[in-house]
Amino acid sequence: MNDMTLTERAVNATDNKITARNVQVYYGESHAIKDVDVDILDKTVTAFIGPSGCGKSTFLRCLNRMNDTIDICRVQGEILLDSEDIYDRRVDPVQLRAKVGMVFQKPNPFPKSIYDNVAYGPKIHGLTRNRTELDEVVEASLRKAALWNEVKDRLTAPGTGLSGGQQQRLCIARAIATSPEVLLMDEPCSALDPIATAQVEELIDELRTNFSVVIVTHSMQQAARVSQKTAFFHLGNLVEYDDTDKIFTNPTDPRTESYITGRIG
């Protein structure tokens, strides 16, 4: 396997990880995302906020081409990951998704054991040479997801038997087991109770040291708590994108202000 092209790059927190320019998304006839330009930084938590149906989840799903699985969805424009166009014809979405992991709104553990859930990604991508390495990856991922201590004695138990918050952390462990560079989270706490939410939020903050995290949330408090950058979407447009502090204390656009003060939403 020496025939692969490997490019090592140094990364630091001010680098652009993802650059989106002039992105349009259509669902059949309807124009769901209009002219979105955004730069997502590495080692940063970026929050997408906005009222329901504003296109924030749709845009998130463009970043790892999950929209490809929907027949009627078309994406135009340019999305670069480390300055490579992810919608280029040469890109295999399978490889892309190994680099850009995703955690979904509802915890969706596979009906397999906890171990197999986490090992699924490394197995299909062939990331480990033997069982010992796989064990290490599984343990490391579960530790990073702050779940190891709770499940280390029952790795063979089904993942569906865990509580909601544990299931969602299992899904996060599963996503980071493929060592992605970007982690997309689509309202990861909306199905969780407050205690589980707090645990996951804490986890997101820790993940920032290794990954670039993009989180969609409809809770403004959550965005304020976990993110450094915030993008406000409204009716398919990216209205404002800035430091989280700025957005919540001194927004430029009147629509952003209306939203964070609760007048639209």
3-state class of 75 per DSSP? strand
CA 255 – CA 211 distance, rounded (Å): 31
For residue 86, give the nearest of 104, 61, 105 by alpha carbon: 61
- Count of residues interacting with another protein (CB under 8 A): 58
Contact between 121 and another protein (CB under 8 A)? yes
DSSP assignment letter at 113: B
CA 120 – CA 112 distance, rounded (Å): 10
Tokens of 60: 């998130």
Tokens of 24: 């349009």
Nearer to another protein among residue 63 and residue 226 (C-beta)? 63
Nearer to another protein among residue 90 and residue 131 (C-beta)? 90
CA 107 – CA 169 distance, rounded (Å): 8
Binding to another protein (CB under 8 A) within 181-220 occurs at 181, 210
For residue 87, give the nearest of 40, 24, 38 by alpha carbon: 24
Nearer to another protein among residue 9 and residue 30 (C-beta)? 9
What's the min distance (Å) between Cβ of 221 and another protein?
26
Contact between 228 and another protein (CB under 8 A)? no
- Specify the stretch interacting with another protein by CB under 8 A; choose among 105-113, 197-205, 218-226, 233-241: 105-113
List the one residue from 30, 129, 132, 194 that touches another protein (CB under 8 A): 129
Nearer to another protein among residue 5 and residue 14 (C-beta)? 5
For residue 205, give the nearest of 221, 223, 219, 193 by alpha carbon: 223
Residues that bind another protein (CB under 8 A): 1-9, 11, 64, 66, 69, 71, 81-82, 84, 86, 88, 90-99, 101-104, 106, 108-112, 120-122, 124-129, 133, 137, 140, 171, 174-175, 178-179, 181, 210
